[in-house]
């Protein structure tokens, strides 16, 4: 028996059990009233005695109990009948009031409303036909992911333990209707109701703020639907290892992700612009790379985030001084203990001689205060400030820091990157190993092809289903190169507004494939470019006449 059927039966059983006594009272009152009218004698217009039939009695009591008052039928009543009618009126009205009150009380009962909400949620999930993801956790990251995915036509099913977050789904103005349930996602029945085994489900996202919860969700999702990928957030490395052991395909540690990006950006500023334009969907290739300094840096706050940033900066040879209210126990760490909001503490840390500062305490008020004080003491300081609550974004933007990092924003960017273009992860890993000259050349190429528009990232599989024109060309023995495919279908002298980033085939991967690279059936091509380019590229791969035109082959009559 399915969970949906059991839940429906539970709701019906609860309703009938709560209304059992009122229904019995109502039935008994109506039965006595009807039976009494068949026994009480009346007088017809001719003066002869008569008694109501059961039909007349039931008909009269039916409108009598609702106090409609259609009159005495079929003849004027005798005094005895009117006396019985008065008694029946009060009895039926009281019975109805009791029954209606009990029904309203049942409908407002938290347990009954919970069952009805679960029924409505399960029915909504069961009716989904387009691809969707199960999103466990609707905090800052969940909100950004839900909005971006629904705007692209990918459905989202939300599960969160916080009722306020679930209620906010309706007022967040998402582009599409999103089923949401306030429940514990670690319960297997909840995941089943959310659709982890639904044929249209494409992934499960464990984005709650608790690593233990994310681990349980990942484990349950892999057991219930082992073929579905799981994307999970982990803030602690020990949980990250456990998540990997249960088979989680994609692990996101926002602290490691940001710290690694910061370190790479110091070495290769162009890579920072490339990463932002390919993952965040808010920046463009025309953005100016920040002038990351390579001198001594300060880290204010030595929690998990601060330790991670400290480790990555030291790995690239940056001298770091830690400022924290507590003594730092790590050996070999240059630190100053004291109140970070006190100018004396920052002066002891030689803030005036520092090139950059990372302010990463978990308290937004403290971060704002330290950032303002640091700007006052050293106006040329490069400031990286951590934002913990997205509601404080306007304050941090007014601060005009060089970089503002929000863990939820980092998580959302990583999740969207994985769902939109799984190959992008591999490309970015390869790009980290390239030098600044290589990344600067790629950035310049993106600027030429994409310009100031938002860069979309997508993958295409070159096979008979997705590229019938290409398959037909290969069957004729025709050679098609990357450069030919990147020409405009209406004017082959012009290039499409896209850059091929990665070519993947069975025998390996090719980073930034050259224009003369020959394409084969089964290849997967990762591209970034303007939104309109995706449709034009699909046209080239589907229309044989267009592909012949692009390759310079003669047209058939």
Q: What's the pLDDT score for residue 310?
A: 92
Q: What is the pLDDT of residues 347-406, one digit of tens each?
A: 999 999 999 999 999 999 999 999 999 999 999 999 999 998 888 989 998 988 888 888
Q: What's the pLDDT score for residue 44?
A: 85
Q: What's the pLDDT score for residue 554?
A: 46
Sheet holding 456-461, edge to edge: 456-461, 524-529, 498-505, 508-511
Q: What's the pLDDT score for residue 326?
A: 84
Residue percentage of the chain with pLDDT more than 70: 96
Q: How confident is the model at residue 146 (pLDDT cuts 50, 70, 90)?
A: very high
Q: What's the pLDDT score for residue 279?
A: 78
Q: What's the pLDDT score for residue 430?
A: 86
Q: What is the mean pLDDT of residues 403-424?
A: 86
Q: Report the SS3 class of residue 127.
A: coil
Answer whether the bond into residue 212 is a cis peptide, omega within 30°: no
Among the listed ranges 107-116, 390-399, 401-410, 548-557, which one has the minimum average pLDDT value? 548-557
Q: Do domains 129-252 and 255-423 have the same CATH topology?
A: yes
| Domain 455-551 bears CATH identifier 2.40.160.50 | no
The upper half-sphere exposure of residue 359, i.e. CA atoms within 13 Å in the direction of its Cβ, equals 31
Give CA–CA dist 404/389, Å, rounded: 12
Cα 441 to Cα 275, 285, 535: the distances in Å are 14, 12, 27
Q: How confident is the model at residue 553 (pLDDT cuts 50, 70, 90)?
A: low
CATH of 255-423, one of 3.55.50.30, 2.60.40.2250, 1.10.3720.10, 3.40.50.720: 3.40.50.720
Residue 8 has pLDDT above 80, yes or no: no
42 neighbors 78 (Cβ within 8 angstroms) = yes
Q: What is the pLDDT of residues 309-349, one digit of tens each?
A: 999 999 999 999 999 988 877 777 888 999 999 999 999 99
Q: What is the mean pLDDT of residues 68-83?
A: 83
Q: What's the pLDDT score for residue 4?
A: 47
Q: Which residues contact 62 (CB under 8 A, 6 or more apart)?
A: none
99 neighbors 115 (Cβ within 8 angstroms) = no
Residue 74 has pLDDT above 80, yes or no: yes
Task: Give domain limits for the chain.
Answer: 3-107, 129-252, 255-423, 455-551
User: How many H helices and E strands in the chain?
Assistant: 23, 20
Cα 511 to Cα 61, 456, 497: the distances in Å are 85, 18, 19
Q: What's the pLDDT score for residue 390?
A: 85
Q: What share of the chain is helix, strand, coil (3-state, %, to 5)?
A: 50, 15, 30
Q: What's the pLDDT score for residue 30?
A: 93
Distance of CA 396 to the CA centre of its chain: 24
Tally of CB atoms within 10 A around 337: 16
Q: What is the mean pLDDT of residues 20-38?
A: 93
Q: How confident is the model at residue 216 (pLDDT cuts 50, 70, 90)?
A: very high
Pairing of strands 382-387, 356-359: parallel
Q: Write down the CATH number for the domain with range 129-252.
A: 3.40.50.720
Q: How confident is the model at residue 31 (pLDDT cuts 50, 70, 90)?
A: very high
CATH of 3-107, one of 3.90.1150.10, 3.40.50.460, 1.10.287.70, 1.10.357.10: 1.10.287.70
Q: What is the pLDDT of residues 157-171, one digit of tens each?
A: 999 999 999 999 988
Distance of CA 281 to the CA centre of its chain: 15
The helix (run of H) or strand (run of E) holding residue 241 is helix 237-245
Q: What's the pLDDT score for residue 9?
A: 56
Mean pLDDT estimate for the chain: 88
Residue 130 has pLDDT above 80, yes or no: yes
Q: What is the pLDDT of residues 224-236, one digit of tens each?
A: 999 999 999 998 8
């Amino acid at each position: 028996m399915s969970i949906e059927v059991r839940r429906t039966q539970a709701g019906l059983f609860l309703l009938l059990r709560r209304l059992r006594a009122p229904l019995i009272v109502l039935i008994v009152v109506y039965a006595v009233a009807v039976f009494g009218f068949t026994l009480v004698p009346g007088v017809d217009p001719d003066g002869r005695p008569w008694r109501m039939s059961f039909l007349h009695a039931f008909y009269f009591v039916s409108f009598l109990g609702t106090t409609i008052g259609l009159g005495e039928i079929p003849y004027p009543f005798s005094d005895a009948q009117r006396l019985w009618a008065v008694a029946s009126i009060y009895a039926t009205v009281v019975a109805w009031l009791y029954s209606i009150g009990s029904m309203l009380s049942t409908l407002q009962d938290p347990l009954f409303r919970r069952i009805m909400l679960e029924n409505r949620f399960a029915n909504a999930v069961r009716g989904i036909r387009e691809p969707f993801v199960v999103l466990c956790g609707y905090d800052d990251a969940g909100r950004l992911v839900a909005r971006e995915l629904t705007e692209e036509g990918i459905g989202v099913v939300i599960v969160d333990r916080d009722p306020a977050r679930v209620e906010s789904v309706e007022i967040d103005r998402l582009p599409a209707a999103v089923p949401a349930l306030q429940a514990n996602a670690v319960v297997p029945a909840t995941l089943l109701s959310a659709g982890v085994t639904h044929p249209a489900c494409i992934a499960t996202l464990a984005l709650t703020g608790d690593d233990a919860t994310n681990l349980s969700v990942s484990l349950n999702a892999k057991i219930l639907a082992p073929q579905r990928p799981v994307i999970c957030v982990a803030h602690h490395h020990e949980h990250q290892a456990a998540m990997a052991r249960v088979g989680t395909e994609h692990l996101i540690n926002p602290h490691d992700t940001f710290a690694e990006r910061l370190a790479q950006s110091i070495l290769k500023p162009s890579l920072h612009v490339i990463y932002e334009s390919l993952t965040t969907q808010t920046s463009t290739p025309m953005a100016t790379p920040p002038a990351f300094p390579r001198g001594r840096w300060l880290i204010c706050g030595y929690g998990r985030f601060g330790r991670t940033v400290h480790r990555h900066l030291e790995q690239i040879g940056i001298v770091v001084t830690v400022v924290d209210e507590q003594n730092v126990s790590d050996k070999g760490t240059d630190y100053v203990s004291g109140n970070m909001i006190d100018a004396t503490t920052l002066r002891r840390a030689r803030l005036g001689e520092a090139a950059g500062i990372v302010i990463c305490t978990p308290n937004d008020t403290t971060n704002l205060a330290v950032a303002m004080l640091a700007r006052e003491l050293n106006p040329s300081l490069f400031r990286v400030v951590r934002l913990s609550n997205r509601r404080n974004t306007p304050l941090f933007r007014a601060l005009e820091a060089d970089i503002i990092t929000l863990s939820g924003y980092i998580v959302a960017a990583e999740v969207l990157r994985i769902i939109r273009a799984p190959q992008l992860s591999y490309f970015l890993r390869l790009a980290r190993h390239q030098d600044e000259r290589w990344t600067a050349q790629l950035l310049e190429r993106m600027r030429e092809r994409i310009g100031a528009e938002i860069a979309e990232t997508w993958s295409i599989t070159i096979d008979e289903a997705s590229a019938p024109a290409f398959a037909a060309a290969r069957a004729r023995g025709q050679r098609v190169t990357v450069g030919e495919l990147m020409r405009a279908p209406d004017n082959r002298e012009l290039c499409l507004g896209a850059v091929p980033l990665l070519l993947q085939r069975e025998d390996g991967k090719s980073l930034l494939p050259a224009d003369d690279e020959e394409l084969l059936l089964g290849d997967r091509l990762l591209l970034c470019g303007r939104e309109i380019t995706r449709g034009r590229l699909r046209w080239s791969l589907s229309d044989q006449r267009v592909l012949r035109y692009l390759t310079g082959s003669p047209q058939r009559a």
